[in-house]
Chains A and B, each alone.
Chain A
Amino acid sequence: METSTLLRFPSANSDNAYTMTEKEVLEHLHTLLVEHFEVEPELIRPQARLYEDLGIDSIDAVDMVVQLRDLTGIRVPADEFKRVTTLQDVTKMIGQIVNEQQEA
């Protein structure tokens, strides 16, 4: 998977484009979860809760922030990552960060 996908992240002016990119981020996450965190692929869905459903604990979260940065170049503040519950929260947060970066 090429790492530049997220650099082409569109701004959220079109609902369709936003959904698309969320999907792309989900794909990255999917690979990370399966290969690095040994999560069963069938458990992975947007509503899955990181800790309760996928067994991603606070140590994994630290790891995931680093991995996401390496994979996508996006720096997710660790403090904000603490507040996410579901996979969808993660993708939304990443979407927001990318949009902020583009506006800046």
Chain B
Amino acid sequence: MGALKKMVAVLWRLWRLIGTAISFGVFGLGGLFVGLVVGPALYLIPASKRRAAIARRVIGALFSTFVEVMRFLGVLRYRIRMEAPLPSPPFVVVANHPSLIDVIFLIKLFPTADCVVKQAHWSNPFMMSAVRAANYVPNSNTADILAECAERLRKGTIMTIFPEGTRTVPGQQPRYHRGPALLALETGASLLPVKIRVNPTTLTKAEPWYHIPQRQVCVELTVLPAIEPKRSGSIRADSIELNQQLKALLTE
């Protein structure tokens, strides 16, 4: 009986390895499809709000499909919990960043949002047409990102930002960048913290993709109550405090 149980566990893990490989294949083909067909097609539409909206809808639909493919294959299961109703825009979605799949879930959750995205994607052949068509914000340099995000928030958008800037390195204390807190205080936008738990860990900075955990991966997104920015002292001091509050909410 014990041997049988063990064999089932090994087969289940083997299947998830295959499922993960298939998922990567699907993602790669999807990227190719977007890079070669969808992106250029979007470029036929003149650059406009409408093009960005369509591009984001397409990306959101593809990511949602991809999540369901992974679920269907048994690679992962997920749970999305809302602890409070969403605030009205403008607001900044801020999330911790334990794994590569966080991005996919956040875009699935807020497909219309303006996202701050790794600048390298602007010159990556698979990504460039999508990030450009969607008119996302490249994480170029501090001054430019802040100015661009503030301008967009003042127009009433939703922004998605990882304050950690990059994936958390397991075992290291993440550094939370103060930008989202400062933006909220400067523009009056609320902060919407989304806490992401990936358990057991997978696709972290310290693991190769084929490192398949013993148990099935569970992705849990908790949308926490929005925080309204309040000024009390200097904007610097206020943003430092607000950032610390965010960090406390988002880290274990």
Which residues of A are at the interface with B, using a C-beta cutoff of 8 A?
37-38, 55, 57-62, 78-79
Partner pick for B236 among A38, A62, A79, CB 8 A cutoff: A38
For residue A36, which residue of chain B has the nearest CB? B236
Over the window 231-245 of chain B, the binary record of Cβ atoms lying under 8 Å from chain A Cβ atoms (1 yes, 0 no) is 000101101100000
Contact partners of B229 in chain A: CB under 8 A: none
Using A38-B236, A59-B178, A78-B141 as known contacts, list a sample of 14 further A-B pairs with CB atoms less than 8 Å apart, ordered by residue number in A.
Answer: A37-B236, A38-B237, A57-B177, A58-B142, A58-B177, A59-B142, A59-B146, A59-B177, A60-B236, A61-B142, A62-B143, A62-B146, A78-B143, A79-B141
Partner pick for A62 among B142, B177, B237, B240, CB 8 A cutoff: B142
- What are 9 A-B interface contacts by the 8 Å CB criterion? A38-B237, A59-B177, A59-B178, A59-B179, A59-B182, A59-B239, A62-B142, A62-B143, A78-B141
For chain B, what secondary structure do more than half of its interface residues adopt (helix, strand, loop), or is it mixed?
helix
Instruction: Determine how close the nearest CB of chain B comes to the CB of A21; give it in whole angstroms.
Output: 28
In the complex, which of the residues A37, A59, A78 has the most CB atoms of chain B within 10 Å of its own CB atom? Answer: A59
For chain A, what secondary structure do more than half of its interface residues adopt (helix, strand, loop), or is it mixed?
helix
Category for how many chain B residues contact A: 10 to 19
- CA A59 – CA B178 in complex, angstroms? 7
Contact partners of A55 in chain B: CB under 8 A: 240
Contact partners of A58 in chain B: CB under 8 A: 142, 177
For residue B233, which residue of chain A has the nearest CB? A38
For residue A65, which residue of chain B has the nearest CB? B143
Partner pick for A57 among B141, B143, B178, CB 8 A cutoff: B178
- CA A76 – CA B143 in complex, angstroms? 14
Contact partners of A78 in chain B: CB under 8 A: 141, 143
Q: Could you tell me which residues of chain B, from 9 to 30, have a CB within 8 Å of some CB in chain A?
A: none
Contact partners of A79 in chain B: CB under 8 A: 141
- CA A61 – CA B237 in complex, angstroms? 15
In the complex, which of the residues B143, B146, B234 has the most CB atoms of chain A within 10 Å of its own CB atom? Answer: B143
Instruction: Determine how close the nearest CB of chain B comes to the CB of A67; give it in whole angstroms.
Output: 12
Contact partners of B182 in chain A: CB under 8 A: 59
Q: Could you tell me which residues of chain B, from 155 to 202, have a CB within 8 Å of some CB in chain A?
A: 177-179, 182
Instruction: Determine how close the nearest CB of chain B comes to the CB of A52; give it in whole angstroms.
Output: 10
- CA A45 – CA B236 in complex, angstroms? 22
In the complex, which of the residues A38, A57, A62 has the most CB atoms of chain B within 10 Å of its own CB atom? Answer: A57
- CA A4 – CA B203 in complex, angstroms? 55
- CA A78 – CA B239 in complex, angstroms? 22
Contact partners of B146 in chain A: CB under 8 A: 59, 62
- CA A79 – CA B179 in complex, angstroms? 18
Instruction: Determine how close the nearest CB of chain B comes to the CB of A42; give it in whole angstroms.
Output: 19
Contact partners of B142 in chain A: CB under 8 A: 58-59, 61-62
Contact partners of A62 in chain B: CB under 8 A: 142-143, 146
Contact partners of A38 in chain B: CB under 8 A: 234, 236-237
- CA A41 – CA B240 in complex, angstroms? 19
Contact partners of B178 in chain A: CB under 8 A: 57, 59
- CA A58 – CA B139 in complex, angstroms? 13
In the complex, which of the residues B142, B234, B239 has the most CB atoms of chain A within 10 Å of its own CB atom? Answer: B142
Contact partners of B236 in chain A: CB under 8 A: 37-38, 60
- CA A60 – CA B177 in complex, angstroms? 11
- CA A62 – CA B143 in complex, angstroms? 7
Contact partners of A57 in chain B: CB under 8 A: 177-178
